Amino acid sequence: MAYNPNNPIIVQGDKTILVEVNNDLYEEVRNEVGRFAELEKSPEYMHTYRISFLSLWNAASSGIDAKEIVSEEPEKEMEFSGILIQPNYEVVVAAGGMQEVHTLYLDRFAEKVSGGVVNVYKLSFKAVASALDQSIPVQELIDYFLEFSVNPLPENVLLTLQEWERDSKKIRIRTVTILDMDDQYLLEELKSYKTIRNYIRSDLHYVLEIDEKSAKKLKREIEKKNRFCLMEPTGK
Query: In this predicted model, what pLDDT tens digit does every residue of 174-215 receive, in sequence order?
Result: 888 888 888 888 888 888 999 988 888 888 888 888 888 889
Query: Taking 70 as the threshold, does the pLDDT of residue 228 lie above it?
Result: yes
- Can you give the pLDDT at residue 170? 93
Does 144 have pLDDT greater than 60?
A: yes
What pLDDT is stored for residue 67 in this prediction?
57
Picking from 144, 167, 190, the residue at the C-terminal end of a domain is 167
Choose between 151 and 130: higher pLDDT.
130
Q: Is residue 152 domain-shared with residue 109, that is, in the same domain?
A: yes
> What pLDDT score was predicted for residue 73?
46
- Digit-coded pLDDT (tens) for 79-120: 445 788 988 999 988 766 688 889 999 999 999 998 877 788
Q: Provide, rounded to the nearest whole percent, the portion of the chain with pLDDT above 90.
A: 31
pLDDT surpassing 90 at residue 139: yes
- Residues 110 and 176 occupy one common structural domain: no
| 122, 105 contact by CB (below 8 A) | no
Spatial separation of the C-alpha atoms in residues 169 and 120, rounded to whole Å: 28
Q: Confirm whether 227 is domain-assigned.
A: yes
Of 4-8, 98-102, 150-154, 179-183, which range is least confident?
4-8
5: pLDDT confidence band, cut at 50, 70 and 90? Answer: low
- The pLDDT mean for the chain works out to 82
Helix axes 125-133, 138-148, angle to 10 degrees: 110
Residues 138 and 192 in one domain: no
- CA-CA distances (angstroms) from residue 27 to 8, 34, 45? 10, 11, 13
Answer whether residue 78 is part of any domain.
no
Supply the pLDDT for residue 60.
67
pLDDT tens figures, 28-60: 888 888 878 888 888 777 888 888 767 776 766
H-assigned helices in the chain:
26-33, 53-61, 66-71, 99-107, 125-133, 138-148, 155-167, 184-192, 194-197, 215-224
Same domain assignment for residues 94 and 162: yes
End of a domain among 44, 71, 98?
71
Tally of domains in the chain? 3
Contacts of residue 127, defined as CB under 8 A and 6 or more positions apart, other chains included, come to: 109, 110, 111, 121
Asked whether the predicted pLDDT for residue 152 surpasses 50, the reply is yes
- How far, CA to CA in Å, does 161 sit from each of 29, 32, 122, 125, 153? 34, 37, 13, 10, 11
State the maximum Cα–Cα separation within the chain, in Å, rounded to a whole number: 91
| Residue 3 in domain | no
Per-residue pLDDT, 162: 97
Domain assignment present for 236: no
Same domain, yes or no: 159 and 194: no
Among 137, 152, 167, which residue terminates a domain? 167
Number of Cβ within 10 Å of residue 80's Cβ equals: 14
Same domain for 150 and 129: yes
Whether residue 90 is found in the same domain as residue 149: yes
Domain that holds residue 47: 9-71
